[in-house]
């Protein structure tokens, strides 16, 4: 079942409750390896990336229970088993790289033969992660299969990263939490999911300053204990459902605990003519004027730029592109992060859209074309499946999105939830 059949052109309306953020729950699960105590995590989305991490835990002898209906995972790891485990890291998910720091910290050695690639957005290098591990005293063979050995004691480090990497920052946090002394990371990532990991580590006893900024200071503690924590809602889901409701001419409300993170995101979707309002923790889309907002500077091409937080997220740029093809007016999308995230844009031509890939980072959409249903192929990029869905659902007639499986990596019951709101969509 990897094709999505989408019969578009019908309004989708109602209320949506978003699930937990994939990119928060995965580092949180990995951080549970840092303690012998039980950890409980709530608001866990039922997604295949979580399955893969839990499968790894089970292969390491951990005790795992997952109440899927309640969205709660309880997990307890056995250090002796972890140390003797030779479990293969999970494949096809970027978060495999988040296992390195906690396993090295606890078990002191790790062999692995994956380069931890997730979505096909570009190289997805692991150098920043290995650099952080080596700064904390690990020795490693830097060719596959990789072999890393941890220092007997992690000593605090002051690191200034080449760039603000989400998973490398999370790697730093997990290494520094129990290192001896005060560690700092300058040029740290500050995404909501990085903040969520910081809060979890604090709940486990870590001492962290600068949460949500580009400079993190961590005072190492000798022991981390178990904790009971909640995964924040997925801001990507919130924005995606608003976009879907808007482009169908429906009215969708999303109640969420992450409205504080949605300000710039909403602003960018408003540039695409979506009428989104916020009140009492509920975001509502009600209307789409189908016009790219005109800049006051008349010579300027309207644009949406994605970069590390607090910029607009790269993981929402495809969805914004999907909306834009139904607008009049022109707009440039600028992915300042990935070198390979826009190659799929040729699929949009099949819907009748006129797009121009200026270079690997910049795409211009020329609006006002007549759209038609199409059969399109998604790359292995979760949010591009969503983009193609947003394109298809706004067009009268039946479209087919091939290779739509990656959606299951981040968005539970995606089709079921939309069907409840009146969407004519199914898996085949
Ligand atoms: C499991 C997880 O959390 N995955 C997310 C995480 O991946 P991940 O942690 O892999 O992403 P990084 O933040 O490391 O950035 C990805 C790539 O972008 C490039 N880069 C990034 C920033 C920068 O200032 N300069 C630069 O060149 C690098 O080539 C880097 O490898 O963050 C990405 C960026 O928000 C998201 O798309 C992924 O969904
Ligand atoms: C790019 C993504 O995931 P990953 O980094 O796991 O590939 C994503 O969540 O959109």
pLDDT of residue 317: 98
List residues near ligand 1 (CB under 6 A): 23, 26, 94-95, 122-125, 163-168, 189, 193, 308, 313-315, 337-338
pLDDT of residue 81: 87
CA of 1 to the centre of ligand 2 (A): 21
> Residue whose CA is closest, atom 6 of ligand 2?
94
CATH fit for domain 22-230, picks 3.20.10.10, 3.65.10.10, 3.40.50.2300, 3.40.190.10:
3.65.10.10
pLDDT of residue 114: 85
Cα→Cα distances 205→86, 129, 224, 338, Å: 29, 23, 5, 35
- Strands, DSSP E only, in 150-273? 158-160, 182-186, 207-209, 215-219, 228-230, 251-255
Same CATH fold, 22-230 and 4-19+233-427?
yes
> Residue whose CA is closest, atom 32 of ligand 1?
166
Tokens 């002796």 sit on residue: 80
Q: Where are the domains of the chain?
A: 4-19+233-427, 22-230
Choose which residue among 93, 121, 165 to substitute to test ligand 1 binding: the one with the highest number of ligand atoms within 8 A of its C-beta.
165
CA of 166 to the centre of ligand 1 (A): 6
Residue 109: Cβ within 10 Å count: 13
Atom of ligand 1 nearest to the CA of 338: 18
Of 401, 261, 256, which is closest to residue 322 (Cα–Cα)?
401
Atom of ligand 2 nearest to the CA of 93: 6
> How far is Cα 84 from Cα 261, in angstroms, rounded to an integer?
42
> How far is Cα 284 from Cα 112, in angstroms, rounded to an integer?
45
Residue 231, H or E segment? none
Choose which residue among 315, 337, 414 to substitute to test ligand 2 binding: the one with the highest number of ligand atoms within 8 A of its C-beta.
315
pLDDT of residue 86: 82
Choose which residue among 23, 161, 337, 410 to substitute to test ligand 1 binding: the one with the highest number of ligand atoms within 8 A of its C-beta.
337
pLDDT of residue 115: 82
Is the interface score ipTM higher than 0.95?
Answer: yes
Atom of ligand 1 nearest to the CA of 23: 3
The torsion angles phi and psi of 50, rounded to 5 degrees, stand at: -65, -40
pLDDT of residue 271: 98
pLDDT per residue, tens digit, the chain (428 aa), is 699 999 999 999 999 999 999 999 999 999 999 999 999 999 999 999 999 999 999 999 999 999 999 999 999 999 888 888 888 999 999 999 999 999 999 999 999 888 899 999 999 999 999 999 999 999 998 788 899 999 999 999 999 999 999 999 999 999 999 999 999 999 999 999 999 999 999 999 999 999 999 999 999 999 999 999 999 999 999 999 999 999 999 999 999 999 999 999 999 999 999 999 999 999 999 999 999 999 999 999 999 999 999 999 999 999 999 999 999 999 999 999 999 999 999 999 999 999 999 999 999 999 999 999 999 999 999 999 999 999 999 999 999 999 999 999 999 999 999 999 999 999 99
CATH superfamily of 4-19+233-427: Enolpyruvate transferase domain (3.65.10.10)
Structure pTM? 0.98
């Amino acid at each position: 079942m990897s094709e999505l059949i989408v019969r578009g052109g019908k309004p989708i309306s109602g209320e949506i409750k978003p699930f937990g953020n994939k990119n928060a729950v995965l580092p949180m699960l990995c951080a549970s390896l840092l303690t012998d105590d039980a950890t409980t995590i709530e608001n866990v989305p039922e997604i295949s990336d979580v399955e893969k991490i839990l499968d790894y835990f089970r292969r390491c002898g951990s005790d795992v229970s997952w109440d899927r209906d309640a969205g709660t995972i309880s997990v307890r790891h056995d250090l002796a088993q972890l140390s003797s485990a030779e479990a293969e890291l999970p494949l096809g998910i970027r978060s495999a790289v988040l296992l390195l720091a906690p396993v090295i910290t606890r078990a002191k050695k790790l062999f692995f033969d994956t380069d931890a690639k997730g979505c096909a957005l570009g190289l997805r290098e692991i150098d920043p992660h290995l650099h952080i591990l080596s700064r904390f005293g690990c020795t490693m063979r830097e060719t596959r299969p990789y072999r890393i050995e941890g220092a007997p004691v992690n000593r605090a480090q002051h690191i200034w990263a080449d760039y603000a990497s989400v998973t490398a920052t999370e790697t730093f946090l997990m290494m520094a939490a129990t290192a001896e002394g005060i560690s700092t990371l300058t040029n740290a990532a500050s995404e909501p999911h990085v903040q969520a990991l910081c809060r979890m580590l604090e709940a486990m006893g870590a001492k962290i300053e600068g949460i949500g900024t580009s400079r993190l200071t961590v005072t190492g503690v000798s022991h981390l204990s178990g904790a009971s924590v909640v995964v924040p809602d997925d801001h990507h889901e919130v924005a995606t459902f608003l976009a879907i409701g808007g482009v169908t001419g429906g009215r969708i409300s999303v109640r969420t605990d992450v409205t504080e993170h949605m300000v710039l995101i909403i602003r960018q979707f408003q540039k695409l003519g979506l009428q989104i309002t916020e009140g009492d923790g509920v975001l509502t889309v009600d209307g789409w004027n189908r016009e790219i907002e005109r800049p006051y500077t008349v010579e300027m091409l309207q644009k949406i730029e994605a970069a590390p937080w607090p910029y607009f997220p790269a993981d929402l740029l495809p969805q914004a592109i999907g909306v834009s093809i139904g607008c009049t007016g022109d707009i440039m999308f600028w992915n300042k992060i990935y070198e390979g995230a826009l190659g799929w844009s040729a699929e949009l031509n099949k819907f009748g859209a006129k797009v121009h890939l200026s270079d690997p980072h910049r795409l211009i959409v020329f609006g006002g074309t007549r759209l038609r249903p199409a059969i399109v192929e998604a790359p292995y990029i979760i949010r591009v499946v969503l983009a193609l869905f947003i394109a298809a659902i706004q067009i009268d007639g039946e479209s087919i999105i091939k290779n739509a499986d990656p959606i299951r990596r981040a968005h539970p019951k995606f089709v079921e939830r939309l069907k409840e709101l009146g969407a004519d969509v199914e898996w085949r």
